[in-house]
């Protein structure tokens, strides 16, 4: 598990460089991604549900991205986009397309459905955190 977390951190740092994240924020993007992966692996080991694990990891990454954005006065996407990448269901999308090409339509359907569920959980988690931080901002301006 430690190797996977270090790998996730390095992947997020590498993607941050590719995405053009300012140098002073690259390590923090990596930390957000690594914390999300730690939670993902913990939930998988306890519960076994990939969907719950992805949802929780995306919630944490989105929350950390908002906190870091406020601390460092940077856009949320600087931390969110690279940090969320390790939870993206790339392998399931690949398997769906591969099985579709080789004629295994039922397997392709299973993998595509799982990929869509995971993507939906990521989107829902980001939406919830963005909405909560948006409510907080609205309350401050109303007072």
pLDDT digits (tens, 9 = 90+) for 73-104: 999 999 999 999 999 999 999 999 999 999 99
The pLDDT, as a whole number, for residue 140 is 67
Buried/exposed code over 45-61 (b: 16+ C-beta within 10 A; e: otherwise): eeeeebeebbbbbbbbb
The crossing angle, in degrees rounded to 10, of helices 23-46 and 77-84 is 40
Q: Which residues of the chain have pLDDT under 70?
A: 139-143
Tokens of 39: 């939670």
Domain ranges for the chain: 2-142
Q: What pLDDT was estimated at residue 104? A: 96
Distance of CA 37 to the CA centre of its chain: 9
């Amino acid at each position: 598990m430690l190797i996977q977390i270090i790998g996730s951190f390095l992947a997020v740092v590498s993607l941050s460089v590719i995405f053009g994240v300012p140098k002073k924020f690259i390590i923090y993007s990596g930390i957000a991604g690594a914390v999300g992966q730690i939670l993902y692996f913990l939930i998988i080991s306890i519960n076994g549900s990939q969907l719950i694990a992805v949802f929780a990891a995306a919630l944490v990454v989105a929350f950390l991205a908002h906190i870091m954005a406020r601390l460092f006065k940077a856009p949320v996407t600087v931390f969110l986009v690279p940090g969320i990448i390790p939870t993206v269901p790339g392998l399931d999308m690949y398997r769906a397309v591969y099985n579709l090409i080789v004629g295994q339509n039922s397997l392709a359907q299973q993998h595509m459905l799982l990929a869509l569920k995971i993507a939906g959980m990521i989107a829902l988690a980001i939406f919830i955190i963005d909405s909560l931080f948006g409510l907080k901002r609205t309350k401050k301006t109303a007072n």
